[in-house]
Structure 1
């Protein structure tokens, strides 16, 4: 099966069965989203959603966050991963939003990446979710699923290479949705260990399934899935 055919099958399935995917991070405005995305690095959305209400009660806008220190922020986020670094990032992010952007979250990837704690992935999430721009954020789920399905070549070994390979074949207007499709599929079906191939609706065109599951069954060898 060619790569364009795999993309067509992928897009056909999700546009028909999951036409309006959404981020699982809870937010009401761009400021809340960028704070949540910074906190979500190597942390679950569920945990971030649990701590956000108390954090926002104390720092409801960029103005309040910009006047805070890392020491002020740390107690409110101590239960997530890397709280020391993230507290420093949020304090710096709040100050820079005020000093450089008038307290507003910028809409360009380049400007967003000037903010502490905001790399290309985080910037892509913000412009995609808030501003509906054709940006593909590549996290571990997107990286894993796109490789397993055979949507990207094996040579795409970096997040940026995967991003470029994905946007090449996905229509611009669907890129924001495709980002969520890949993340959610990786979060609940195509998990890192023991992917749930038995309930996956994409096995008919999945390169991983053909190689590791169907191929192993045909030869009588244990599959990677059964060994994990």
Structure 2
């Protein structure tokens, strides 16, 4: 039995019951592949039951980076809730990918909190919660992640593609080509929507231990 301090990530698709299930499943698989290619994982993101995914990471920063990548890959078609738990991950059965431990309990607590809190007035944009009991836990990570949520929620759907390009490190010309707009229009989106400070914050969160 392997026990180690890790960060567990649970992701749940918002309003998935109203979606085309086949299209949603294909999009989830593609987004998980993108996140797994971009971010190293102890246990890569994979779909579990219905519209939920899970993965395990060595650091909170890696788990948040994977969540950001998957979220931006799915947007604007689908949105997700993210629950992150820092603690022990106990591998009960590696062959069947059965795990237990405080990291999973905390991740479930976090994602349930997001589902409930986002129904309250003024908190509709909440998509992320962190519950971290590791010695390396940063108390500012949880509220800062929700400031990222709030900024993303204010973006027009088209602008999310420009944000994704910045997050992925594409140069302006490549990002504009993917979005089907001119480089000057892409630059205007970045300036108008203050995307650089947003990505700076996301990258800083991605460096957390």
Structure having the higher Rg: 1
Could you state the TM-score of these two structures normalised by the residue count of structure 1? 0.28
> Higher strand share goes to which structure?
2
Q: Which has the higher contact order (CA 8 A, sep 6+)?
A: 2
Could you state the TM-score of these two structures normalised by the residue count of structure 2? 0.30
